[in-house]
Structure 1
Amino acid sequence: DRLYFEPLTLEDVLEVVQAEQQAGTLVGVIVQLGGQTPLGLAQRLKDAGVPIIGTSPESIHLAEERGAFGRVLAEAGLLAPKHGTAFTFEEARAIAAEVGYPVLVRPSYVLGGRGMEIVYDDEMLADYLGRATQITPDHPVLVDRFLDDAVEIDVDALYDGTDLYLAGVMEHIEEA
């Protein structure tokens, strides 16, 4: 067993993969233990032929892409706050008008609340979008109805198709 301390870039990970393949059989790469950066590398590593151990790039996509996640929730019969995905300020303003202020805005493909902000009106929305990273078709902004006094809970589970293990249940203490 070896442990590498290298930058989490596609090129550096592929160099480590190549070194491990030359040293013997590479079982695969685990991408879910380093925050957002390795999650973002998962699909590109798979596309490069690297076996992914654990959560698949397809499952990561289902968790990170709001439209896909909303469909999973709906199919499971679970409720979720009204939400939308915006590619422009006009779209974000229309979603906010539909779901009602305050809204929670954040970049897409970001888990864990980074870049998230509660917005109370069109002026604050314009300010947020002006400060947010560039909105592109690949990286829109998510606009969710903000729920006053909500409780956010994370449930970490492992499931192999037969057995389900609950690894942890955590309540967030910041505003949900």
Structure 2
Amino acid sequence: LADMDLSRLSVSPGHVAVKEAVLPFGRFPRADALLGPEMKSTGEVMGVAPDYPAAFGKAQEAAGAGLPSGGTVFISVTDGDKASATQLAASLHDLGFAVLATGGTAQAIRRMGVPVERMAKLSEGSPNVVERIEAGGVDLVINTPTGSGARADGWEIRRAATARGIPCITTMSGASAAQRAIRATRGGQPEPIPLQELHAPSAATLIFPQTA
């Protein structure tokens, strides 16, 4: 690179690409959707769009975890994520989502003035959020577990979501990206981008032609 006059290179690809792993949770009903180092994907997909939110949404759709445009979101997060979760709940409420949450998360969200329905964890008896998910009353799950008790409850929540094919997000960064992607789809679905256009000769190729 030191031998190349990169000062002449001023080019943007004009698109954003997001790669997503395809994980076989659907084949293993008792599997935990919480990712770990032992997870192995069965393939990869890519979403390409003019901006990151749209590309992220495309990647999720291609991976079989398409994001809902509305409905009900369930949120249960660790204490360290509650500040971010309240902002996320407010954004999703603005998009028309009904918000469900477990006790501590619901309390934090309510303080922000966002309407929220408190749901019991499985360990707290019935009716609870797992029953609500299994009954088809939840369209999106956001769960960042911590501790042994929360991990056990979280496992049941994520298992129920996975069994019904409901998108289940386990990090706040992923939840934020999902919210942006949902908002982006409100303007209409992005058009497919032909691979021929992506591989067309760019300014960089013309400035620095490949040599044999």
TM-score category of the 2 structures, normalised to the smaller one: under 0.3
Scaled by the length of structure 1, the TM-score of the pair is 0.26
- Greater Cα radius of gyration, structure 1 or 2: 2
Scaled by the length of structure 2, the TM-score of the pair is 0.23
Using CA pairs under 8 Å that are at least 6 residues apart, name the structure with larger relative contact order, 1 or 2: 2
The structure whose residues are more often helix, as a share, is 2
The structure whose residues are more often strand, as a share, is 1
